[in-house]
Amino acid sequence: MIGSNVHIGNVSKTFGDFVALDDVSIQIQKGEFFSLLGPSGCGKTTLLRIIAGFEEPASGAVLLDDRDVLPLLPNQRSVNTVFQNYALFPHLSVFENVAFPLRLHKQKEPLIRARVSDYLQLVELQDHANKKPSQLSGGQKQRVAIARALINEPSVLLLDEPLSALDAKLRQHMLIELDSIHDKIGITFIYVTHDQQEALSVSDRIAVMNKGMVLQIGTPQEIYEAPATDFVAKFIGETNLFEGIVRKIDGELLELETAEFGTICLTDSTPPAIGTRVSWTVRPEKLRISHDSAANGRSGLNTLQGRVDEPIYSGFQTKFYIKTAGGATMKVIKQHADWSDEGPEIAWKDEVYLSFSAKDVFLVERKQ
Amino acid sequence: MRRGPGLAYASPSLLWLTFFFIAPLLIIVLYSFLTPGQRGGVDLPFTLNAYRAIANPSFGKVVVGTIAVALAATFFTLLIALPCGYYMARSSKQTLLLLLVIIPFWTNFLIRIYAWIAILGNEGFLNDLLRWLGLAEESVRFLYNRAAVTLVLVYTYLPYAILPLFSTIDKFDFSLLEAARDLGATKFMAIRKVLLPNIRAGIFTAFLFTFIPIFGAYAVPLLVGGTNSYMLGNLIADELTKSRNWPLASAISLVITLVTTIGVMLLLRFNGTHILEKKHEKA
């Protein structure tokens, strides 16, 4: 199978007064595992339905390998969908569900048998061929839906929150399986999800969407480490988000004046002008927490003082809510690694020092 | 199986069935084997005369004619009811549409037939319209033939087909049609290969709800039919009221009951297994 590259150019779509998509442009490479990530109602499913042909955009272009697909009906596009609720045909057996697209194209019976058994093997369901969908578990139904969507050898596979109906453990398992199927067949996957963990763990690239707009497109690392807007920072993982005013610029090193923490320093290659009000973020796991202020005063290192408001222990890590001297709350995540001796355990109401590098502080665009 | 209080629980419906269904049926069976009374009613002795009369070929003609009209009317009723039910199920104004389907029931059945006569008659609305448009000089005879009977039967029993179809289609998961389209099916193929198999139970119910009453239709052929659209229901009425041959009327009634019962049994054999299977799966 050969994947297609997908060009989405300036696509807009409204439902009455509701703007579902607002001038969305995305380039997806051949064979890429691309995720559309965002909260419900952000337009990601609408975009998927436009690519599949179930919705028409108000304006804009959708090209598959430079070919305009908007005039084509859903059944004429080499794009297949794995639906959120599986959408298996209840009156047909697993075998006939998977064979459905082949029977539509009036393929010969021996060829159908061979192809269907190949694809059932791919999703490890060869022993369930004669069952009806109602006799399958959620994970098995999902696999049938995947086999059925792949048997036509589409150049793009659309997945609409395919794992949302599964429980957490099964979801992890299916995610790994989806990834390995993607590696095996190498076509373009467009994966819609509201779950940032899912998107981060399997995607080559992610587009974060909110309110019909694409806020950031990048690799999982880029999106997590350097969120472009405050929404992306808050939506992906946990973060600390504050405001400040630029007071001093020294090359790439900036100093911000903040109401809560005094001066905060950070690095930015394209610094805004002095006096600009900005939002800045630092991830909780980038902060170091300790009882003593060993690193105080070093350049490029921010240090804060505070009191443990609430420690939340969760086995492999502990999350602390630290009430700082300025009255703000800073989230800190500490991994439990027993090789590093970090002194006595940090407990509730302890006075602590926080330190974090200027390199781990990012300016984010304020855009809800 | 446990035989506990089951019979006690079932007794109200059993009593109902006995008094209102089984007892009348037995009376009809009994009457069919008796001799016609002088002024209607029945007399002894027991005889098979009524059944000998049924063997008459002219009676067979009426049976065949009735089956033909009933099948045609049922076919057209389903043909119209399917898209109606589909549209209602997909509409956002379901309550309003349901009301529109039910409204005709508020007017007496006979009055609605006379309304059709007012529309289709020689001096009726349709002929007036044709003359006004200059399409016809003489009145066109729409009434008193099989087509008129079929048309009015379709009109009368349409709601009985729409309602079960609507309730089945309403439960249908329409995303299955999108899935079929996505997998390469045209609109028509998606409906044929996915919608129709999944609403078989509703089509089956709609068929029974229309075919059985149409097969026993009496008033419609009497009022808008001609001599060639005489149906079994008219035959029974004539025997009962004009010829005063109650045993023959009873025997013909039994023939109707028998034909519909056999028809339903056959349908259940071919179609019903699917319905039973479905129930079994859910259990």
Name the residue among B67, B74, B260 with its Cα closest to residue B158.
B74
DSSP tally for chain A: helices H, then strands E: 8, 20
**Mean pLDDT value of segment A7-21:** 92
* pLDDT score of B282: 40
* pLDDT score of B3: 56
- Residues A276-314 have pLDDT tens digits of 888 899 999 888 888 877 655 567 788 888 898 888 888
Beta carbon pairs, A and B, within 8 Å: 62
Contact of A226 with chain B, judged by CB distance below 8 Å, is answered with: no
Check pLDDT > 60 for residue B277.
Answer: no
**Greater confidence, A327 or A9?**
A9
Instruction: Give the H/E segment covering residue A322.
Output: strand A317-324
A-chain residues near B189 (CB < 8 A): 104
**Mean pLDDT value of segment A63-72:** 91
* pLDDT score of A341: 56
**Greater confidence, B82 or A273?**
B82
Q: Where in chain A is the domain with CATH 3.40.50.300?
A: 6-234
Contact of B184 with chain A, judged by CB distance below 8 Å, is answered with: yes
* pLDDT score of A342: 61
| Boundaries of domain holding B67 | 14-282
Q: Which residue has the tokens 């999703």?
A: A123
Shortest CA distance from A104: residue in chain B: B185
For chain A, helix, strand, coil in percent to 5 are 25, 35, 35
* pLDDT score of B144: 86
B-chain residues near A53 (CB < 8 A): 181-182
B-chain residues near A93 (CB < 8 A): none
Check pLDDT > 50 for residue A183.
Answer: yes
Check pLDDT > 50 for residue A181.
Answer: yes
Check pLDDT > 90 for residue B155.
Answer: yes
* pLDDT score of A32: 93
* pLDDT score of B5: 66
**Mean pLDDT value of segment A58-78:** 92
* pLDDT score of B12: 84
Contact of B196 with chain A, judged by CB distance below 8 Å, is answered with: no
Judge whether B3 lies within some domain: no
**Greater confidence, B96 or B266?**
B96
**Mean pLDDT value of segment B25-50:** 84
CATH number at residue B274: 1.10.3720.10
Check pLDDT > 60 for residue B217.
Answer: yes
Angle between helices B200-215 and B246-267 (to 10 degrees): 170
Distance from C-alpha of A37 to C-alpha of A192, rounded to nearest angstrom: 6
Strand A33-37 to A188-193 pairing: parallel
**pLDDT bucket at B83, cuts 50 / 70 / 90:** very high
**Mean pLDDT value of segment B218-227:** 87
Omega within 30 of 0 (cis) for the link into B45: yes
Judge whether B5 lies within some domain: no
Q: Total structural domains in chain B?
A: 1
Contact between chains at B182 and A134 (C-beta distance less than 8 A): no
Contact status, residue A203 vs residue A190, Cβ threshold 8 Å: no
Percent of chain B with pLDDT over 90: 39
Residues 130-149 (A) with a CB less than 8 A from some CB of B: 132, 134-135, 148-149
Contact of B197 with chain A, judged by CB distance below 8 Å, is answered with: yes
**Greater confidence, B73 or A248?**
B73
Judge whether B9 lies within some domain: no
- Residues A90-132 have pLDDT tens digits of 999 999 999 999 999 888 999 999 999 999 998 889 899 999 9
Shortest CA distance from A52: residue in chain B: B182
> In sequence order, what are the residues at sequence separation of 6 or more whose Cβ sits closer than 8 angstroms to the Cβ of residue A131?
A93, A94
Contact of A81 with chain B, judged by CB distance below 8 Å, is answered with: yes
Angle between helices B146-171 and B200-215 (to 10 degrees): 150
* pLDDT score of A367: 63
Q: How far is CA B106 from the centre of its chain?
A: 19
Residues 144-173 (B) with a CB less than 8 A from some CB of A: 173
A-chain residues near B168 (CB < 8 A): none
Query: How far A283 CA lies from chain B's nearest CA (Å)?
Result: 41
**pLDDT bucket at B281, cuts 50 / 70 / 90:** very low
Name the residue among A258, A259, A312, A263 with its Cα closest to residue A284.
A312
Nearest to A87 among B175, B189, B282 (CB): B175
* pLDDT score of B150: 93
Q: Which two tokens stand for residue A29?
A: 């490479």
A-chain residues near B184 (CB < 8 A): 75, 101, 104-105, 152
Contact between chains at A100 and B281 (C-beta distance less than 8 A): no
* pLDDT score of A96: 95
Judge whether B176 lies within some domain: yes
Contact of B68 with chain A, judged by CB distance below 8 Å, is answered with: no
CATH code that applies to domain A6-234 = 3.40.50.300
Lowest mean pLDDT among A55-69, A177-191, B26-40: B26-40
Residue type, A147: A
* pLDDT score of A132: 94
Contact of B182 with chain A, judged by CB distance below 8 Å, is answered with: yes
* pLDDT score of A1: 63
* pLDDT score of B225: 84
Judge whether B19 lies within some domain: yes
Check pLDDT > 50 for residue A252.
Answer: yes
**pLDDT bucket at B271, cuts 50 / 70 / 90:** low
Interface with B, mutate which of A49, A104, A107 (most B CBs under 10 A): A104
Check pLDDT > 60 for residue B142.
Answer: yes
Nearest to B175 among A83, A104, A148 (CB): A83
Lowest mean pLDDT among A107-116, A192-201, A299-308, B187-196: A299-308
* pLDDT score of B2: 53
Beta-carbon neighbour count of residue A83 at 10 Å? Answer: 20
CATH architecture of A238-364: Beta Barrel (2.40)
* pLDDT score of B111: 92
Evaluate whether ipTM surpasses 0.85. Answer: no
CA B116 to each of CA A324, B152, B161, B213, B220: distance values in angstroms, whole numbers, following the listed order: 86, 7, 20, 19, 10
CA B102 to each of CA A122, B97, B156: distance values in angstroms, whole numbers, following the listed order: 52, 9, 11
Q: Where in chain A is the domain with CATH 2.40.50.100?
A: 238-364
- Quickly list H helices, chain A: 44-52, 94-104, 109-122, 138-150, 168-185, 196-202, 220-225, 230-235
Q: What is the mean pLDDT of chain B?
A: 86
Contact of B177 with chain A, judged by CB distance below 8 Å, is answered with: no
Contact between chains at B176 and A135 (C-beta distance less than 8 A): no
Contact status, residue A253 vs residue A358, Cβ threshold 8 Å: yes
**Mean pLDDT value of segment A230-241:** 88
Q: What is the mean pLDDT of chain A?
A: 88
Distance from C-alpha of A34 to C-alpha of A217, rounded to nearest angstrom: 10
